[in-house]
């Protein structure tokens, strides 16, 4: 059993992950910005913790204390501006990495984005988002943490299939259901083959349980 902390649990991927972890052997804490969100996760048997990614590293470290696995699924959302994207998707991620290092977390699972390392593919409107993802990933890779970086394509709300591909050349449409991203998060928890890996995720034909 691992002590798991989901940062960004109220987001769509985070909610899927929390639901899928409901009947697992793990002890799960969920980081939430508003106490109004607590009851949904308490019903799943998880422990809500107030967490504001605009707080300082010490405050975030206190929230993460005792966690073995830190899952970062937070994002500012498409309705916010570039300033909020940098505050949450970059600065919030980096502070979470620092906090995970401070508590000696055994694994840090980062939900990033397809093409985060391919600036030539970025549209002007999405540049702040991709810049945040690219450099947060870089900080994580250069840290001492045992990391798993997941880079999903376009996220959809379709029901997951339980199958993916890690090869972009296999798919003309670069998308994946959020539910399947959450399933991959669960598959990566504590798995040796997920250690120090950067994994592209798209809908495909490979069963998720064969990924690691």
Q: Which two tokens stand for residue 137?
A: 């990933």
Report the pLDDT averaged over residues 50-57.
97
Q: Which of 115, 135, 73, 78 is nearest to 201 (CA)?
A: 115
Q: What fold does the segment set 3-210 form as a domain?
A: Rossmann fold (3.40.50)
- Residue-wise pLDDT for 72-120, tens only, equals 999 877 667 788 889 999 999 999 999 999 999 999 999 999 999 998 9
- Residue 96 and residue 88: Cα distance in Å, rounded? 10
Mean per-residue pLDDT of the chain: 95
Look at 172 and 122; give whichever has higher pLDDT.
Answer: 122
Look at 171 and 5; give whichever has higher pLDDT.
Answer: 5
Give the model's pLDDT for residue 172: 66
Q: Evaluate if residue 32 carries a pLDDT over 90.
A: yes
Domain ranges, ordered by start, for the chain: 3-210
Q: Which of the residues 129, 130, 135, 147 is marked catalytic? A: 129
Q: Evaluate if residue 196 carries a pLDDT over 90.
A: yes
- Residue-wise pLDDT for 198-210, tens only, equals 999 999 999 999 9
Residues of the chain above pLDDT 90, percent: 87
DSSP strands (E only) in the chain: 3-7, 27-32, 47-50, 69-72, 107-111, 147-152, 154-156, 163-165, 175-177, 197-203, 206-207
pTM above threshold 0.85: yes
- Residue 161 and residue 43: Cα distance in Å, rounded? 26
Catalytic annotation on 130?
Answer: no
């Amino acid at each position: 059993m691992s002590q798991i902390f989901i940062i960004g649990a109220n987001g769509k991927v985070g909610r899927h992950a929390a639901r899928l972890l409901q009947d697992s052997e793990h002890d799960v804490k969920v980081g939430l910005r508003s106490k109004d969100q607590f009851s949904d996760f308490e019903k799943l048997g998880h422990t809500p913790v107030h967490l504001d990614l605009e707080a300082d590293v010490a405050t975030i470290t206190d929230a993460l204390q005792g966690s073995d696995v830190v899952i970062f699924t937070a994002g500012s959302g498409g309705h916010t501006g570039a300033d909020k994207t940098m505050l949450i998707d970059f600065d919030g991620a980096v502070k979470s990495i620092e906090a995970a290092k401070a508590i000696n977390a055994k694994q840090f699972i980062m939900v990033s984005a397809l093409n985060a390392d391919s600036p030539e593919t970025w549209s002007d409107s999405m540049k702040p988002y991709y810049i945040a993802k690219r450099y947060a990933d870089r900080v994580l890779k250069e840290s001492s943490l045992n990391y798993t970086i997941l880079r999903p394509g376009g996220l959809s709300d379709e029901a997951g299939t339980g199958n993916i591909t890690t090869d972009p050349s296999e798919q003309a449409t670069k998308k994946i259901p959020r539910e399947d991203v959450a399933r991959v998060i669960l598959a990566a928890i504590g798995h040796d083959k997920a250690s120090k890996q950067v994994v592209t995720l798209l809908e495909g034909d490979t069963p998720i349980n064969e990924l690691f």
